[in-house]
Amino acid sequence: MSILYDLLLLNAEVFTPNGLQSIDVGINDGRITALEPSLKNAEATTILDLKGLTVLPGVIDTQVHFREPGLTHKEDIESGTRGAVAGGVTGIFEMPNTNPSTTTREAMQTKLDIAAARAWCNYAFYAGSSDENIGLLPDLEQMHGVCGVKLFMGSSTGNLLVRDDDTIRRVMRAGKRRMAVHAEDDFRLDERKEWLMQQPTLHPRLHPEWRDVDTALIATKRVTALARETKRPLHVLHITTADEMRYLATQKDICTVETTPQHLTLDAEDYERLGSLCQMNPPIRSKAHQEGLWWGIEHGVVDVIGSDHAPHTLEEKALPYPNSPAGMTGVQTLVPLLLDHLSKGRLSLERFVDLTSTGAVRLFNIKGKGRIALGMDADFTVVDFKATHEITNSWIESKVGWTPFDGKRVTGWATHTIIGGHAAMQEGELFKVTPRPFAFWDTAMAQ
């Protein structure tokens, strides 16, 4: 008796653990059940002819800020995840600096419930750490759908700022999973703010001078030393300096590393053109530091790329610097920006997949993701390497409706976003599917 597949992917190049293969993919019940030279004679409820396209493991964006609850005038879980699937992203890790902060089981469950009802892609949430919830962290990091604990050493909201080593040490000892950190030294930020306010003219071009290299490097060295002392695995987010990258190359036994598409694409010269639209924390820096980030990618220091999607309205961005808020949209442009770098020879396909999918699975012990292999979840990002598109504000699904890359032409584009064996995006058209929270090998099995 012949098999009836839920979905067949035909005539594409497929990136498997063996490399690129000209094979067809069969899917049932949300999982890969066939990888064959040809399934053209098989029967299926849905058949996608992907001739000329490439099927990749589903892209996972491991750092987004979707602003819900409390700041939903500029984003929420529904609009943020809709932007994700529009850009080829199959799943996201969302950050805890909402209002209220995600520091309790109740606050976490609220986010999980919202996502279960309204998310367009797979999801997990970070629990925030503070000096007030250290005793709750071991329980929080084990909740189903929680990807880990986030520590802010600088630039946070509400009660999430943790400045001093003693408190950081206590946070690190209150759990065992890999912990993510925003490493900017808040003490130095205060000192540098005095310098900033003495400048005759205030402009976003001063942002990387206020939040200078030492602000980042001091914090990164502090937090890796504490991770080594407490034996807590660490993930340092959005690295921006060549100095940090060289240092972190010596710390890979305790620490993993992220950078962002924005820092790989924009540089300090763009402040003249974009002003506060390219203001983010840590800052966009000089071309020399950008080359340091590419050095980290080329030498394997960087483990994963996250977008740090953090939208603000244009009205908020128009406030005089430094009152203009830091952050920009990013989840929808992650894939096209990196594909464009791939087209220019700065990334190999293998490195693209590692940085956007398998790296996240390796770092965070995600079940069922990151490989196109029998039995794995049917999450795919389908791309056209040759397609040329212009990124525009009108394409952006975020509530704020803008991107610093408005008008940028790129080569490489996501044509389909497939989640659990169902197309959530097909040639630019969005379809509501039923996503799920990520499951992790290092959380409690009984949920």
Hey, which residues are catalytic here? 308
Q: At residue 239, what is the residue type?
A: I
Which residues 6+ apart lie within 8 Å of 41 measured at CB?
A: none
Q: Which of 295, 274, 303, 282 is nearest to 370 (CA)?
A: 303
Measured CA to CA, the distance from residue 227 to residue 244 in angstroms comes to 16
Identify the sign of the CA torsion 295, 301, 302, 303.
positive
DSSP track, 163-221: -SHHHHHHHHHS--S-EEEE---HHHHHHHHHHHHTSSS--GGGHHHHT-HHHHHHHHH
Measured CA to CA, the distance from residue 58 to residue 61 in angstroms comes to 10
Measured CA to CA, the distance from residue 61 to residue 86 in angstroms comes to 13
Question: Cβ distance 415 to 404 under 8 Å?
Answer: no
Q: What pairs with residue 360 in β-bridges?
A: none
DSSP track, 208-257: HHHT-HHHHHHHHHHHHHHHHHHT--EEE-----HHHHHHHTT-TTTEEE
Q: Is the peptide bond before 282 cis (omega within 30 degrees of 0)?
A: yes
Rg, Å, the chain Cα set: 21
Tokens of 213: 């290299």
Identify the sign of the CA torsion 292, 296, 302, 304.
positive
Q: Is the peptide bond before 322 cis (omega within 30 degrees of 0)?
A: yes
Question: Cβ distance 170 to 136 under 8 Å?
Answer: no
3-state secondary structure of 345: coil
Measured CA to CA, the distance from residue 356 to residue 360 in angstroms comes to 7
